A and B are shown apart, each in its own frame.
Chain A
C-alpha cells in the first residue's frame, strides 16, 4: 500500500515537473496563450522593462485591496503583507520563473508558484 502510494507520488511529481518544465510556461507565455497581446502588458513601443502594477491591475481586481480579497484564504496572503504593496513583477516574473521574494527572509511553503 505504502509502496503504491509512493510510486503514485513519484509519477505525479514527474508529470508536474514535465509540464511545468516546457519552455513556454512562463507568465507572459500563458497570457499570450490566452490571446493577450504583448502591448496589453507592455506600454513601451518595443518591450524592454517590467510593466508597472497599474497594467496588471487593469485585469486583476483593479486595486491591491481587491486582489488581496481574492487570495485572502492563503496563509500568508501574498497580496497583503507587512512589506507593503510591491510591484507585481518582483514575484510574478514575465519571462522567467516565479520568485517568492518573501522567502529571502522566511521559508513559507505550499504556495502555488504561478
Chain B
C-alpha cells in the first residue's frame, strides 16, 4: 500500500470528522479546525491596515456592511506611521473658517501641473471633489485634530491640513485614531495575516483572497469585493531595480521596510493594467538616525557637494529632485548640504539634528568645516569660492553644474554648517490602475468585478511629483470611495 495515500486519507477523515464534530477522539484536529476555519465570509475584505485600509474599514461599517482587515504584520506597519501627517485639501470647513480663498478648479489645475500633466485627470478630479468632505470626516468621525492652517509657498498655499501628532508623527497619531474607530465598531483586524493570492470565479471576477496566517492558508471570501490597500513597493529592491533601474534601487529607505509590492504581485495574475511603474517620490535622509534635512535642502541657501568636495547639482531644484538624482550623481549616494548663517532658520535644523543625535558639522571657517567633516579641504574651499564669485558677478548659470537660484545669497556669514545626507525613496506611485470608483481596471480599461485598490497600492493618480499631503489625502478619498461602491454592490445583490 502506498503510505502517502494512507496518510492523506487519514488526514481527510480527520478533517471531515472535525468539521462535522462527530468524533470526540479527534480532539487535536477539532481544535485546529476551530482555530483555522477553512473559509470565512465577509462583505468587504480589506488588505493592509494603513490609512487607506482602515478608512475603508470604518466607511464600510458605517455603510452597513461587514468588513474585515487583513494585515500581514503584528501592527499597522506601512508608510503611514512614519508620515508627517499632512493632507492636501481645499474647501474644507477649516479653510472656510480661516477665510482662505481656494477652489476645486484651482486645486485640480495645480495638482495636474505638479504631476507634469501626466496624472489621470479623472482621478485627480475625483480627488478634488471629495477631499474637502473627507478632511471634515476625519475630524468629525475619526476625531482627528489638525494644526492651524498656514500660508505656505506655492503649491501648498493654505491647503496643508496637518494632523496634530502631539509627541509622535502625525501619521502615527492618525493610525492610532483609526484603530480606535475600528475598535469602537468591533471591526475585526486580523494581524500576521498576509494576502498571497486573489481567488476568482469562472468569469475572472474576484471573489476572495487566500491569506497566509500563523496557522496556515485561509480563504477569505467576499460578498462585495476585495480592496487592495497594501501600499507600494518601495522596500522591494528587486521590483525597484527592474522597473526603475539600478540607481533607484540604491536609494535609502525613508519609510516602511514592509512595502514589498503585493499591489502588483496580487493583481498581475488577473490582468490588471499596471501603470506609472517607474514613478516614485524621493527625499533626503540620514539613514543611521532617520533625521530629515529636507528644510535645509529647500532653504534656498548654500551649496551641495559630494564626498570629493565638488558641486554636483543645481541647488535650485526641489529637495525631491535632488534626492532622486543623488544615487546616479554619486556612487556613494551621499552628499553634504553646506550653508552659512545667512540662512536664519539654520538653528532649527541644528536643534533637530541634535535631538536625533545626528552627525553634522559647524565651524567659523569653510576650511575648518571641511576638515571637521573629513572632506577634501581644497576642493570644498574652491567650490564655495567659485559659488561666491559667481553670485557677485551674476554668473551662477555659467558654473558647472549651473546654479539657477532666483535670489542667490553669498556664503559669507559664519558659522558655517555641513549637513550630510543620502537620497531616500519615500514611496512608489505605480500600481494597478483604478477608475473613479476605485475599481481596478484591466489592460482593456474594463473594471475587474470585485477588485478595488486605494492609497499607495493604486496606480494612476501620481506622476513625477505631488503637492505635499496628497498621498494621505488619496488614501482617505479612495479608501472611502471603494467601500461605498462595495456597499452599493452588496445592497444590489441582496435585492436580486
Contact = CB atoms under 8 A, between A and B. Distances in A.
A105 B288 CA distance: 6
B357 A83 contact: no
Given A107-B288, A107-B289, A109-B357, A82 B75 contact: no
24 contacts: A77-B167, A80-B167, A80-B168, A82-B82, A82-B165, A82-B168, A82-B172, A82-B173, A83-B77, A83-B81, A83-B172, A84-B81, A84-B172, A85-B75, A86-B74, A86-B75, A105-B290, A106-B290, A106-B356, A107-B289, A107-B356, A107-B357, A107-B358, A109-B357
A17 interface: no
B299 interface: no
Contacts of B81: 82-84
A87 B73 CA distance: 12
B35 to A, nearest CB: 16
B285 to A, nearest CB: 10
B175 interface: yes
B302 interface: no
Question: Chain B binding site: helix, strand, loop or mixed by DSSP?
Answer: loop
A82 B357 contact: no
Contacts, number: 42
Interface string A77-110: 1001111111100000000000000000111110
Contacts of A61: none
Interface string A36-79: 00000000000000000000000000000000000000001100
B208 interface: no
B283 interface: no
B284 interface: no
Interface of B: 74-77, 81-82, 165, 167-169, 171-173, 175-176, 288-290, 356-358
Nearest to B168: A82
A109 B356 CA distance: 9
A87 B81 CA distance: 17
Contacts of B290: 105-106
Nearest to A77: B167
Question: Chain A binding site: helix, strand, loop or mixed by DSSP?
Answer: loop
A83 B75 contact: yes
Contacts of A107: 288-289, 356-358
A17 B140 CA distance: 53
A6 to B, nearest CB: 23
Given A106-B289, A107-B358, A82 B171 contact: yes
A82 B168 CA distance: 5
A44 B284 CA distance: 47
Contact of A82 (B169, B288, B358): B169
A109 B168 CA distance: 18
Most chain B CB atoms below 10 A, which of A76, A80, A82, A87: A82
A20 B433 CA distance: 57
A107 B353 CA distance: 11
Interface in A1-41: none
Contacts of B74: 86-87
Nearest to A68: B167
B448 to A, nearest CB: 33
Given A77-B167, A105-B290, A84 B175 contact: yes
Contacts of A80: 167-168
Nearest to B359: A107
Nearest to B85: A82
A49 to B, nearest CB: 12
**Ranked 3 nearest A-B pairs via Cβ:** A82-B172, A82-B169, A84-B75
Contacts of B172: 81-84
Contacts of A109: 357
Contacts of A85: 75
Nearest to B171: A82
A80 B77 CA distance: 16
Contacts of B77: 83
